[in-house]
Amino acid sequence: MRPERDGKETARRHEILRKLKKLYPDAECALYFCNAYELLIATILSAQSTDKTVNEVTPALFAKYPAPRELAQADLAELEGLIHATGFFRAKARNLLGCAQVLVTQHRGEVPQTMAELTALPGVGRKTANVVLGNAFGKNEGIVVDTHVQRLSQRLGFTKQTQPEKIEQDLVRWVPQKDWTVFSHRLILHGRQVCAARKPKCEACALTRKCPASLV
């Protein structure tokens, strides 16, 4: 890439970041939670499900299992029934039970605050760990790459990668670290409200002029 084109590309990406910040200044996590434990459990449940469904399920779940110690002793069949609506409930129930047991036996019932410790928990990958670190502990250690973030980062020309971890590596080069957590929320909101997977509303999008995938 020639220097002048590189300069234009840098300006284009910075303008997209500026516009996203203006469009969604108060973007935040859509999952309901009161503490790190609740966010961890809700994020595990959100895999292959919607935030809306998870938010409908978790009040009863947390009323019965308000902390890791209670969840670690849960009856598996009863737990499956409580989370059935989120899909893949058998695998998720096993992960929740195993995760709670590790929290109790290895972390004194507390959610750890490092990437390595979090990703060692059953059912917890890098995406879930980033959600917890950024939203429960205010630690910007990475960028959450879900389906919305993946789709929009590709359409907006921030990456050509298809694997979440490689997409994250591209994104962190452009997004200031202090914005890593909120950047994901902004892309998710824009993906839900404007840049849908099947029918993006390019004609109503404030990013159209800067988007290489624009249909306008």
Single out the catalytic residue among 127, 170, 179, 210.
127
- Record the tokens describing residue 138, joined without a space: 């205010």
Residue 127 designated active-site: yes
Cα–Cα distances in Å, from 85 out to 48, 124, 160? Answer: 11, 20, 34
Residue 6 designated active-site: no
- Record the tokens describing residue 153, joined without a space: 């980062």
Single out the catalytic residue among 21, 51, 139, 146.
146
Q: Rounded to 5, what percent of the chain is helix, strand, coil?
A: 65, 0, 35
CA distance 31 to 95: 19
User: Which residue do the tokens 């979090």 mark?
Assistant: 118
Question: 29 near 186, Cβ under 8 Å?
Answer: no
CA distance 77 to 83: 10
Q: Catalytic site residues?
A: 127, 146
